[in-house]
Amino acid sequence: MRVYWEDTDGGGVVYHARYLNFFERARTELIRACGVDQMELKETHNLIWVVLEMNVRFVRAARLDDELLVGAAFEWTRGVRQGITQRMTRKTDGALIATADVTAAMLRADTLRPARMPVWIKQKMGLEGI
């Protein structure tokens, strides 16, 4: 992901809330890469994911025009909750920019009540043994 002017403060440094956008995009791409379409998940299966908690550690600043590599990986699943770890590095030098530990949950879209992740999603995401 490239850092654009709109992502920065007046000094060309990424504004702290923008890191959340970059992390969100990486989680969305992780789910997509596993073959799960989130719109279909909502419309056909009445399920959505929400973030319950996020712990972000800022290591160094990202700046205007930096290219960032942002990864996401499922680490655990318990009941309706899933743990996701994320890393953000600068492409040019591999410098660690930030990390995030995320707790997400699956909910029923119509009631926003907790729902267990269906087996077919666990299989697509390689979470059966986690």
- Tell me whether residue 126 is exposed, middle or buried, using C-beta atoms within 10 angstroms of its C-beta: 0 to 12, 13 to 18, 19 or more: exposed
Sequence letter at residue 20:
L
Report domain extents, the chain.
Answer: 5-117
Q: How confident is the model at residue 67 (pLDDT cuts 50, 70, 90)?
A: very high
- Which residues are CB-contacts of 66 (< 8 A; sequence separation ≥ 6)? 2, 3, 14, 90, 91, 92
Q: Indicate if 66 belongs to the active site.
A: no
28-65 pLDDT, tens digit each: 999 999 999 999 999 999 999 999 999 999 999 999 99
Asked if residues 86 and 69 have their Cβ atoms less than 8 Å apart, the reply is: no
Q: Out of 9, 93, 101, 110, which one is annotated catalytic?
A: 9
Write down the pTM of the prediction. 0.91
Asked if residues 124 and 34 have their Cβ atoms less than 8 Å apart, the reply is: yes
Asked if residues 99 and 86 have their Cβ atoms less than 8 Å apart, the reply is: yes
Fold classification of 5-117 (topology level)? Thiol Ester Dehydrase; Chain A (3.10.129)
Indicate whether 128 pLDDT > 90: no
